[in-house]
Amino acid sequence: MRFNTISEAIEELKRGNPVLIFDAKGREEEVDMVFYAGAIDYEKIYKLRMEAGGLICYASLYSLAERIDLKFIADILSSHENYREMATRRLGYGDPPAFSLWVNYINVRTGINDKDRALTIRKLHEVFTEIWNNNVEKARKMFYNEFMAPGHVPILLSRGLDKRRGHTELSTTLALLASLVPSIVLAEMLDKGESLSLEKAFQYAKKNDIVIIDGESIINYWRRSEQ
């Protein structure tokens, strides 16, 4: 089993094709299927649903989200005494959760089908692109006037690789390395009863001609780019 190169992953992400990312041994040890949100359509949502199978999420940077006062859901829940203890618990790998709000775009029908989720994600991409381009007030108006919560698309926010090394951080960093807006759609790859093993993920990648990379490669490339 041999991972592809970061350069190959960058090119596939730019083309709107899926990239598989394995986080790390000793962490979740999971593989996520990742698309650039700027290239999303309902067929790609269908692919995520049918061939990945995990929760389909939108991901961007907390540093962008906080500019429109979008917070982590754990921080929101921690302000309520009945939920505070629940919101401070951690899973086995120890990281704080990346979840923010779950939203629907206001023009969807029910929010859950592939076309509805693709529309919500495209509109989220527009919001975060406006923030990225420093049109913060426009983004704020779009987000608070054109979305409802709760909805069917969970927003994940990256704390940055210096603080957390989950798929949210790895995938949004890959977008940055590709000189794209850090705006990603991802879902964990599942097997019957459990997460898809790395060995099976390699088999899937080979069969479907999909690039697969590991988190360590992204982190090393990011460190070199930072220097």
Catalytic residues: 32, 57, 93, 104, 152, 188
Rg (CA), the chain: 17
Beta-strand runs (E) in 10-128: 19-22, 31-36, 57-61, 99-105
Interior angle at CA 57, CA 106 and CA 224, nearest 5 = 130
What are 139's two structure tokens? Answer: 């983004």
Rounded distance between C-alpha atoms, residue 156 and residue 81, angstroms? 24
Give the residue from 15, 31, 72 showing the smallest Cα distance to 205: 31
How far apart, in Å, are the Cα atoms of 55 and each of 59, 155, 189, 193? 12, 11, 9, 15
Dihedral-angle region of residue 14 (phi above 0 means left; psi in -120 to 50 means alpha; beta otherwise): alpha
The residue to which tokens 């919001």 are assigned: 127
Dihedral-angle region of residue 69 (phi above 0 means left; psi in -120 to 50 means alpha; beta otherwise): left
What are 174's two structure tokens? Answer: 């890959």
Instruction: Reduce the DSSP state of residue 155 to 3 states and report it.
Output: strand
Instruction: Reduce the DSSP state of residue 216 to 3 states and report it.
Output: helix
